[in-house]
Structures are given as C-alpha cells and as structure tokens.
Structure 1
Amino acid sequence: MDDVTTELRRVIRRWQQLPADTAHENAGLVRELAQDLADRTRAQLGLAALAIPDLGEAALADQLTVMVYDACRVGLESYALNGLTQLRRALP
C-alpha cells in the first residue's frame, strides 16, 4: 500500500500544480481512472457499476483518492498502482 500512497501523492501534487485551463483539458484522464477504479471495485464486490458524479476539477483529486483506497481494500492494489503511474505520466 505504501507504493500506492506514494504514487497517489505524486499524481495529486501534479494535478494541483496544473493551471486551471490545463486541468480542465486533462480532467477526463483523472475522471476516467477514478471511474474505472470505482467500476472494478464494485464488480469485485458483485455490485453493478455506478457513475461517479461530475463535481468539477476541484473535487477530482478527492474523488480519485477515495476510489484508490476503495480499490485497495478489495484487493486491487496493483491495478490501482498501475493506473496511477500511467495517469502521472500522461499529465503534463
């Protein structure tokens, strides 16, 4: 879990440093990972997928954090780590 926490912090730090227009342009990347983690977590629990509400760019870091920790709780730690690493590399 330490690796996931470290990578999550890196992603959030980068996200928070983006100018507003750049964050807006890249919000889909963050939202996509958060939704993917939510879907996989619910599937792991035998539940139907639910859409994460669009609360804007300011809330994305918090939404991603919740989804990462939920995914880790159901055994998707390596999947979450891989997704976070790819996201960090994709962000400007």
Structure 2
Amino acid sequence: MIDDPVPPAARRELERLARRWQQLPLDRALRCVPAVHALAQRFADQAVAPSLTGDRLPDLGPAVVIDQLIVTTHDLAAARAATPTAEPTVDIAAELAALRRDIG
C-alpha cells in the first residue's frame, strides 16, 4: 500500500470539497471554476522548486477542475513530505476549507 502524503485534515477537507462540487448546479460550478483553478495553481506552484514555477495549469472547465485540485493537493503534500524541514507557506487544510465555504 502506498502512503498518502496528504495530511488527514487536508484529506477530509478535500473529500468534503469534492462531494460538494459534485452537488453544485452547473451554473454555480461555472462561477466557481476560477477560484478552484486558482487554488490548484497555487498548490502546483508551491509543489515545485521556485525556479520551475510559471507553468500554468490548463483551464479544463468544471468537469475536470476538481480533479486538478486533487492532484495538485497530492503533489504539494508529497513535496512537503520529501523536504520536511522546509517551512510550509500554505496550510493545505485551511485553504481547502476556505474554498469549500466559498463555493457554498
């Protein structure tokens, strides 16, 4: 079994957010795509070395954006696990919870 690098609190928030996303009406999801995409991009940027940032996640719309967030959350948590002495610049669980509250 592969260890999950995502901290338990962040995993719970990610699961809650994904469930909520599935329940959103399409018009609401379309309005929320930019916020979800922005968080996924921030997580992607945090997951890589600063010299490699700048690659932009493609905007693939509401059907895929939550999957992008799941992947970038995992990438960020894995990057942190690989360098545990690095000071975290973002609280993953708090960011996910705030986004979940924002989308309703």
Task: Tell me the TM-score normalized by structure 1.
Answer: 0.89
Identity of aligned residues (%): 38
Unaligned runs of 5+ in 2: 1-6, 81-87
Residue 64 of structure 2 corresponds to 59
User: In 1, distance between residues paired with 2:48 and 2:54?
Assistant: 6
User: In 1, distance between residues paired with 2:46 and 2:63?
Assistant: 24
Number of residues of Structure 1 aligned to a counterpart in Structure 2: 91
Let me know the Cα RMSD of the aligned residues.
Answer: 1.7
Unaligned runs of 5+ in 1: none
Larger radius of gyration: 2
Task: Tell me the TM-score normalized by structure 2.
Answer: 0.79
Residue 19 of structure 1 corresponds to 25
Between structures 1 and 2, the one with greater helix share: 1
Whether the 8 Å CA contact 1:29–1:87 is kept in 2: the answer is: yes
| Deviation (angstroms), 1:81 | 1.3
